């Protein structure tokens, strides 16, 4: 038996340490989170994505009374962007969340299905996507590609 370890890497920053473009993306995600449709979880998520041409798109989570039918903010966003801009690689994806009635930002991290979806988009464009996860008012995790959140990821049917 051989013990195998895999380490992951991420950067923890203060909001003021982000670039202006990264900060703008967080703000776009915060704005759109206010328009989430999340009457079942009351967890309002916002995601904003910048493409290689500089264009920014955004989405919130959209829930359903049949819970699994609801869609996470980032997966809805990646689907829309992939459908409408099939030739432009996404570069950076910001994700934020806030509980209804609370002023502080909640800690957020993409679910397993969204991680696999982000992986697919990275593979489609052969380029890692930088993730910015807002942790609270002032703190952000910057993650350089989904491999840091998805060790032993599945991405090849033929080997």
Quote the least distance from Cβ 128 to ligand THU, whole Å.
18
* Token pair 């009351």: residue: 42
Could you say which residues in the range 41-60 bind ligand THU, by CB under 6 A? 41, 43, 45
Considering the candidates 6, 74, 107, 120, report the single residue annotated as catalytic: 74
Choose between 25 and 73: whose C-beta lies nearer to ligand THU.
73
| Residue 140 found at the interface with ligand THU (CB under 6 A) | no
Quote the least distance from Cβ 1 to ligand THU, whole Å.
36
φ, ψ of residue 22 to 5 degrees: the values are -70, -40
Q: What are all long-range contacts of 151-157, with beta carbons under 8 Å and residues at least 24 apart?
A: 151/6, 151/8, 152/6, 153/115, 153/116, 153/119, 154/116, 154/119, 155/119, 155/120, 155/123
Using an 8 Å Cβ cutoff, are 34 and 25 in contact? no
Kindly tell me which residue out of 63, 77, 131, 140 binds ligand THU, with binding defined by CB under 6 A: 63
Quote the least distance from Cβ 23 to ligand THU, whole Å.
20
Could you say which residues in the range 70-129 bind ligand THU, by CB under 6 A? 70, 72-74, 95, 108, 110-111, 114
Choose between 68 and 86: whose C-beta lies nearer to ligand THU.
68
Quote the least distance from Cβ 9 to ligand THU, whole Å.
20
- The count of residues in the chain is 159
φ, ψ of residue 121 to 5 degrees: the values are -65, -40
* Token pair 């989904």: residue: 146
Using an 8 Å Cβ cutoff, are 137 and 143 in contact? no
Indicate if 74 belongs to the active site.
yes
Q: Which residues bind ligand THU (CB under 6 A)?
A: 38, 41, 43, 45, 61, 63, 70, 72-74, 95, 108, 110-111, 114
Active site residues: 74
């Amino acid at each position: 038996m051989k013990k195998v370890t895999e380490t992951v890497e991420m950067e923890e920053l203060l909001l003021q340490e982000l670039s202006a473009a990264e900060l703008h993306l967080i703000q776009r995600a915060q704005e759109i989170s206010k328009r989430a449709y999340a009457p079942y979880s009351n967890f309002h998520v916002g995601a904003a994505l910048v493409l290689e041409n500089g264009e920014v798109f955004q989405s919130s989570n959209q829930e359903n009374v049949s819970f699994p039918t609801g869609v996470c903010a980032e997966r809805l966003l990646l689907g829309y962007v992939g459908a409408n801009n099939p030739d432009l690689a996404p570069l950076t994806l910001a994700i934020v969340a806030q509980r209804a009635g609370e002023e502080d930002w909640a800690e957020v991290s993409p679910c397993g299905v969204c991680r696999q979806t982000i992986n697919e988009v990275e593979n489609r464009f052969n380029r890692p996507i930088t993730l910015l996860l807002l942790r609270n008012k002032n703190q952000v995790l910057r993650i350089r590609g989904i491999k840091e959140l998805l060790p032993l990821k599945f991405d090849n049917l033929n080997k």
